[in-house]
């Protein structure tokens, strides 16, 4: 990143966090991701949290490290993480509705099944929520050292794609390894649609009746699926099973919204992050989630909604 871009980033970051704070976040999140890679090679334990929901001791280790660090960095903010049930009670216990309250959401390993099976599409994710809106996100896939961050707080996106990076020991230099990420609009003739295997089994035929040319594919992490749309590799991501939680969504959707993507439900309503849009006990979104390019959604969302009527 040249000095002009560094200067612009520094100015934009000033209102919510400084450039040096962002550099510390980038450095620590990358270190956490690389620690996951290391711990996986040493062996790990898998436990069941619920139906089709597994967790590893690596999830818990990273959760503790990340939570402790963010609490130290931002003692006046609320920090909520996936593997810390006590932290999740802060959603109800604190008057976060005030405009100045900031909530950090931590997902230590998004895409745990990919991690368990030695696949590449898992990520460490951080999201920042303010005034009921996701304003910043960091998504780091340690396999391949792929890092994305951005949001409305800095009015931009950055990535290390196509860079050959080493982990910097100087936090103040960490920002300089990133370049502005220009969202890539999907190709006009492309109809790549991201749909999980479970959603494809249950709803694929109905969706294909609405989009006959659709080509479905999927990968592990919710956040990395969203990045596929940001990068123009897919026109739309459809998430229908209503199990996704705030630590899954705040970071990736902050990046998606900054990229100009539409994040809505089948009726076209913006994805909500207020008390009325989230289950207070589980922090699950009430809405199904569509993330896509506006022209594609304008054309196909009503057809998808009609095809799925009565099935959800």
Residue set of the binding site for Mg(2+): 82, 107, 109-110, 248
Chain centroid to CA 81: how far? 13
Residue located via tokens 């998004």: 110
Distance (Å, whole) CA 14 – CA 29: 20
Distance (Å, whole) CA 243 – CA 103: 20
Annotated binding-site members: 82, 107, 109-110, 248
Rounded to 5°, the CA angle 85-91-92 comes to 105
Residue 60 CB contacts under 8 Å (≥ 6 apart), including other chains? 83, 108
Residue 189 CB contacts under 8 Å (≥ 6 apart), including other chains? none
Q: Would you say 6 and 176 are in contact if contact means Cβ atoms under 8 Å apart?
A: yes
Q: Identify the CA nearest to 120 among candidates 33, 201, 193, 59.
A: 33
């Amino acid at each position: 990143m040249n000095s002009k871009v560094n200067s612009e980033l520094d100015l934009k970051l000033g209102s919510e966090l400084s450039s040096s704070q962002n550099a510390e976040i980038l450095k620590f999140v990358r270190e956490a991701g690389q620690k996951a890679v290391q711990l996986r090679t040493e062996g790990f334990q898998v436990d069941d949290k619920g139906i089709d929901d597994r967790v590893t001791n690596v999830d818990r280790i990273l959760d503790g490290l990340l939570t402790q660090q963010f609490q130290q960095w931002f003692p006046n903010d609320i920090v909520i993480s996936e593997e810390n049930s006590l932290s999740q009670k802060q959603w109800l216990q604190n008057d976060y509705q005030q405009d100045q309250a900031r909530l950090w959401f931590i997902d230590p390993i998004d895409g745990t099944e990919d991690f368990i099976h030695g696949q590449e599409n898992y990520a460490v994710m951080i999201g920042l929520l303010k005034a009921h809106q996701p304003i910043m996100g960091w998504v780091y896939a340690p396999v391949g050292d792929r890092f994305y961050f951005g949001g409305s707080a800095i009015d931009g996106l950055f990535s290390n794609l196509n860079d050959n990076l080493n982990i910097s020991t100087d936090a103040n230099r960490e920002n300089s390894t990133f370049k502005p990420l220009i969202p890539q609009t999907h190709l006009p003739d492309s109809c790549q649609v991201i749909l999980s295997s479970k959603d494809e089994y249950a709803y694929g035929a109905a969706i294909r009746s609405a989009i006959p040319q659709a080509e479905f594919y999927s990968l592990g992490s919710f956040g990395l699926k969203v990045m596929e749309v940001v990068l123009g590799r897919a026109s739309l991501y459809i998430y229908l099973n209503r199990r996704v939680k705030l630590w899954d969504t705040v970071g990736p959707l902050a990046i998606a919204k900054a990229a100009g993507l539409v994040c809505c439900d089948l009726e076209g309503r913006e994805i909500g992050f207020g008390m009325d849009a989230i289950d207070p006990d589980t922090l699950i979104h009430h809405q199904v989630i569509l993330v896509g390019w506006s022209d594609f959604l304008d054309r196909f969302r009503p057809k998808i909604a009609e095809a799925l009527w009565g099935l959800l």
